[in-house]
Amino acid sequence: MDIQQTMMEVGRRAREASRAAARADTHQKNAALKAIAAAIRRDAAALLAANAEDLAAARAAGLEAAMLDRLTLTEKGVAAMATRSGRRDQ
């Protein structure tokens, strides 16, 4: 699959997900947020490792320090994402 086909598929799936989210009731939305928070916590190490790879590539490409700083993901940042995603279950 080439990049154009991939992006078309991503767009199609995003539209489907958007429609499903619009139809979901509060309980379903809260359950989804809870699952997202759990996935973020579970995969924190992988998220940080992928971000480190992205930052290395960005540095190699000569991205400015200010942009690198904005792109940098920390353990605290990952924890904050999980907390905000799962806030309704607390």
pLDDT tens digit at each of 90 positions of the chain: 799 999 999 999 999 999 999 999 999 999 999 999 999 999 999 999 999 999 999 999 999 999 999 999 999 999 999 998 766 444
Extents of the domains making up the chain: 3-89
Contact (Cβ atoms closer than 8 angstroms) between residue 68 and residue 19: no
Residue 8 to residue 23: CA distance in whole angstroms: 23
**How many CA within 13 A on the CB side of residue 73?**
19
Residue 48 to residue 59: CA distance in whole angstroms: 16
At which residue do the structure tokens 């990952």 appear?
Answer: 78
Q: What is the H or E stretch that residue 20 is in?
A: helix 3-23
Confidence (pTM): 0.76
